A and B are shown apart, each in its own frame.
Chain A
Amino acid sequence: MSARLTRDNVAKVADLARLNLSEAELERYTEQLGAVLDHAEDVASLDLDGVPPTAHPLPLVNVLRDDVVVEGVDREEVLSQAPSVEDRRFRVPAILGEEP
């Protein structure tokens, strides 16, 4: 399966993950991730039909609590740590009107 991991796969994944990779990084990651996926072949090649997946070690159910108002974190303290703030809100560069 990992023999099929190509430089183009890695470039696409980098784009999805919002990472800009250099040519050299693309090459290196293609090789390194390929080696990890080769090792993962032992899992990928298992016949596991009928085995249910385990996403989590605890038998989780919805955790509910009484609807009581409690103090949250301080808004000014949170905003003081943001890279850019305007009118007590997080400020970001243009979103609307971007090229897709």
Chain B
Amino acid sequence: MSVIPSTALEIAAAVRSGELSAREVLDGHLARIDAQDGEINAFNLVMIDEARAAAAAVDAQVAAGEDPGPLAGVPLALKDNLCTRGIPTTCSSRILEGWRPPYDATVVQRVNAAGAVSIGKTNLDEFAMGSSTENSAFGPTRNPRDTSRVPGGSSGGSAAAVAAGFAPLSLGSDTGGSIRQPAALCGVVGVKPTYGMVSRYGLIAFASSLDQIGPFSTTVADSALLLEAIAGHDGRDSTSINAPVPSLLESLGQGVDGLRVGLVTELMGEGIAPDVAARVRQAADALTAAGAQIGEVSVPAAAYGLSAYYLIAPAEASSNLARYDGVRYGMRVDAPTTAEMNAATRTAGFGDEVKRRIMLGTYALSAGYYDAYYGKALKVRTLIVRDFEKAYADFDLLLTPTSPTTAFKFGDKTADPLSMYLNDICTIPTNLAGHPAMSVPFGGGSDGMPVGVQLLAPALGESTMFRAAAVLEAAAPALDEVWS
């Protein structure tokens, strides 16, 4: 067998030119999954038969002189909250175990149409609620860089699949950092696009005003490639932005000369591990060396982001998850009346964290507390949007850590939900504002685990964000370089 390249761009080029077959590429990745996923547990389901059929179809197109598309023959892993027609989609929850959706998510249709080979469904914190993938009903995913540590979450399976070389590309969803934080902890690239840039049709809803789908990859260019393939208007998602998709791959070589980049003061001090903050400063220096102007900027309302998020997201979740009532799909626990059946089903089907968030959201929305909690949180959201507007009057991009620490050990934060929630402190503000942000690996922490630095941009500022990401990628210290 020929040597299979590690990036999606190289694989697609080799498959399109006939140098490599999609079948060879798939076999190589399936062999790696077979050998290592028993330990990593990135996948809830490996779609062997479907993937073989898709690879054969790509090879037939190449043989017939047709172009399978920009993702030709590239194995791609799907977070298991993306609907795949006829293929189990669980959200890593007992309540959806065995459910086979009657339709494909728009992003699934788009990657398949671009020639990608969907290789499996990846593990997540149940209904995407968590920061460690420890809340999965099907057992945690392990961090491929150190299997005693969490991969982050909620898209921990998608991040681990890319970090372990099971697939060069994967898709995740990001409601408060669920793509960027696991990307940082596993040492890969992860992007949360502008709210509305990627259709959520077929993404099982968690918090609808925050959820967004985005790519994972080992390189910045591969994330650009995948985001270009999935972005764009979709009439089946009423929040989908009807605007041209920015050309991201083209922007990669443009550098950062003259760009103004702000270091967010509130996210560089208390609560951020010193080794992580040091890498962020080193990343700022790398941008300076490439011609950017670095300054400090204050986004005061970001300090309230965590509290606002943990009122807004559970409130929306409590409403979205009301649909799991044992009537139309998934699990049912029988009882004499429908009301008792609803409660018995939800009690047996949901895990601890999902129940906690439903309770929190129901409380925040309930009579007597609505104004004090949910109402206030929505106003804080306005303050965050305004503070970002002010920051972007002076800066083109912002730079922060992605996660306050490197990957932590299993069980470290499960007993205290608030300590787990604090993982999202750097990622949440962008979700509340609807802006794009991405995590780029930038060396290791004092424990030798990967550190991710986060680039933030105003709405639809992806092209500028990717330019800076490419510069950081080229300047990033090696993971094993001694931390100083």
Taking a contact as CB atoms under 8 Å apart, the answer to whether B334 and A55 are in contact is no
Q: Provided the pairs A13-B363, A32-B417, A36-B418 are in contact, do residues A53 and B378 lie with their beta carbons within 8 angstroms?
A: yes
Contacts of A58 in B (CB 8 A): 195-196, 239, 241, 434
B364-385 near A? 1/0 per residue, CB < 8 Å:
0010000011011111111101
Neighbour of A17 across the interface among B318, B372, B375, B418, CB < 8 A: B318
Contacts of B328 in A (CB 8 A): 78, 81-82, 90
A12 to B242, CA, bound (A): 43
Task: Give the number of chain A interface residues (Cβ < 8 Å).
Answer: 53
Contacts of B435 in A (CB 8 A): 57
Q: Is the interface of A mostly helix, strand, loop or mixed?
A: loop
Taking a contact as CB atoms under 8 Å apart, the answer to whether B433 and A20 are in contact is no
Q: Provided the pairs A36-B418, A51-B382 are in contact, do residues A44 and B366 lie with their beta carbons within 8 angstroms?
A: no
A65 to B93, CA, bound (A): 35
Contacts of A92 in B (CB 8 A): 327, 338, 341
In chain B, residues 431-482, which have Cβ atoms closer than 8 Å to a Cβ of chain A?
432-435, 459
Task: Give the number of chain B interface residues (Cβ < 8 Å).
Answer: 71
Chain A CB within 8 A of B325 CB: yes
Which stretch (B32-40, B173-181, B268-276, B306-314) binds chain A?
B306-314
Contacts of A63 in B (CB 8 A): 238
Chain B CB within 8 A of A69 CB: no
Contacts of B341 in A (CB 8 A): 92-93
A91 to B336, CA, bound (A): 13
Taking a contact as CB atoms under 8 Å apart, the answer to whether A19 and B350 are in contact is yes
Contacts of B100 in A (CB 8 A): 80-81
Contacts of A37 in B (CB 8 A): 363, 373
* B311 nearest in chain A by CB position: A40
A32 to B362, CA, bound (A): 15
A80 to B85, CA, bound (A): 13
Neighbour of A39 across the interface among B239, B307, B359, CB < 8 A: B307
* A81 nearest in chain B by CB position: B329
Give the distance to chain A from B326, nearest Cβ to Cβ, in Å.
6
Chain A CB within 8 A of B335 CB: yes
Taking a contact as CB atoms under 8 Å apart, the answer to whether B235 and A43 are in contact is no
A54-82 near B? 1/0 per residue, CB < 8 Å:
11111010010100000001100110111
**Interface centre among B101, B241, B376, B416, by most A CB within 10 Å?**
B376
Taking a contact as CB atoms under 8 Å apart, the answer to whether B325 and A93 are in contact is no
Contacts of A1 in B (CB 8 A): 372
Chain A CB within 8 A of B393 CB: no
Neighbour of B375 across the interface among A13, A53, A65, CB < 8 A: A53
Taking a contact as CB atoms under 8 Å apart, the answer to whether B327 and A43 are in contact is no
Taking a contact as CB atoms under 8 Å apart, the answer to whether B359 and A29 are in contact is yes
A80-100 near B? 1/0 per residue, CB < 8 Å:
111110000010111100100
* B372 nearest in chain A by CB position: A44
Taking a contact as CB atoms under 8 Å apart, the answer to whether B421 and A74 are in contact is no
Known contacts A5-B363, A35-B416, A44-B376; 10 additional CB pairs below 8 A are A17-B358, A20-B344, A29-B355, A37-B373, A43-B304, A56-B209, A57-B209, A58-B239, A80-B100, A95-B337
Interface of A toward B, CB cutoff 8 Å = 1, 5, 9-10, 13-14, 16-21, 25, 29, 32-33, 35-37, 39-44, 46, 48, 51-58, 60, 63, 65, 73-74, 77-78, 80-84, 90, 92-95, 98
23 A–B contacts from the bound complex (CB under 8 Å): A10-B359, A29-B355, A32-B418, A33-B363, A35-B416, A35-B417, A39-B310, A43-B376, A43-B380, A46-B380, A52-B379, A54-B379, A56-B239, A57-B459, A58-B239, A74-B102, A82-B327, A82-B329, A83-B332, A90-B327, A93-B336, A93-B341, A98-B337
Interface of B toward A, CB cutoff 8 Å = 99-103, 195-196, 209, 235, 238-239, 241, 303-304, 306-308, 310-311, 318, 325-332, 334-344, 346-347, 350, 355-356, 358-360, 362-363, 366, 372-373, 375-383, 385, 416-418, 421, 432-435, 459
